[in-house]
Structure 1
Amino acid sequence: METFHLKNIRKTFKNGEVEEEVLKGVNLSLRPGEITALTGASGSGKSTLLTIAAGLQETSEGEISFKGKNLADVKEEKLRKVRAEEFGFIFQSSHLVPFLTVEEQLFMMLEVAGKKKEEEEVTAILSKVGLSHRRKAYPSSLSGGEKQRAAIARSVIHRPSVLFADEPTASLDSKKSEEVMQLLEDMTKELGMATLLVTHETEMLSYADRVVHMEDGKILV
Structure 2
Amino acid sequence: MTTFTIQDVTKTFTNGEVTEQVLNGINLSLHEGELTALVGASGSGKSTLLTIAAGLQRASDGKVQFDGNNMTAMTQEEIRKIRASKFGFVFQSAHLVPFLTVEDQLMLMLDVAESTMNKREQKEEVAKVLKLVEMDHRKHAFPSSLSGGEKQRVAIARAIIHKPKILFADEPTASLDSKRSKDVMTLIRDLTKTLHITTLMVTHDEEMLSYADRIITMKDGLIG
TM-score range (shorter-chain normalised) is over 0.9
Helix, strand or coil: the match of 1:3? strand
- Structure 1 distance, partners of 2:155, 2:90, is 7
Cα deviation digits, residues 131-171 of structure 1 (max 9, x gap):
11111111111110011000000000001000000000001
With normalisation by structure 1, the TM-score equals 0.98
Q: Output the CA distance in 1 between the equivalents of 2:202 and 2:26.
A: 15
Supply the AA of the counterpart residue of 1:82: I
Cα displacement string for residues 58-90 of structure 1 (whole angstroms, at most 9, x for unaligned residues): 110010001111101100111110000000000
For 1:4 and 1:104, locate their aligned partners in 2 and report how far apart those are by CA, in whole Å. 31
Unaligned stretches of 5+ residues in structure 1: none
Q: Give the share of equivalent positions with the same residue, in percent.
A: 62
Aligned equivalent of 1:35? 35
- Can you list the C-alpha shifts for 1:97-148, whole angstroms capped at 9, x where unaligned? 1111111010111111111242221111111111111111111111100110
CA distance in 2 between partners of 1:68 and 1:168 (Å)? 28
Task: Tell me the matched-pair count.
Answer: 220
**Corresponding residue number in structure 1 for 2:80:** 80
Structure 2 distance, partners of 1:123, 1:49, is 34
CA distance in 2: counterparts of 1:88 and 1:164, whole angstroms? 6
Q: Spell out structure 1 runs of 4+ moving beyond 4 A.
A: none
Deviation at 1:210, TM superposition (A): 0.3
Query: 1:11, CA displacement in angstroms?
Result: 0.4
Match of 1:133 in 2: 137
Q: TM-score, normalised by structure 2?
A: 0.97
* 3-state DSSP of counterpart to 1:19: strand
Q: Does 1:144 align with 2:113?
A: no
Compute the RMSD of aligned alpha carbons: 0.7
Task: Give the drift of 1:50.
Answer: 0.3
Match in the other structure for 1:9? 9
CA distance in 1, matches of 2:95, 2:73: 29
Consecutive unaligned residues in structure 2, runs of 5 or more? none
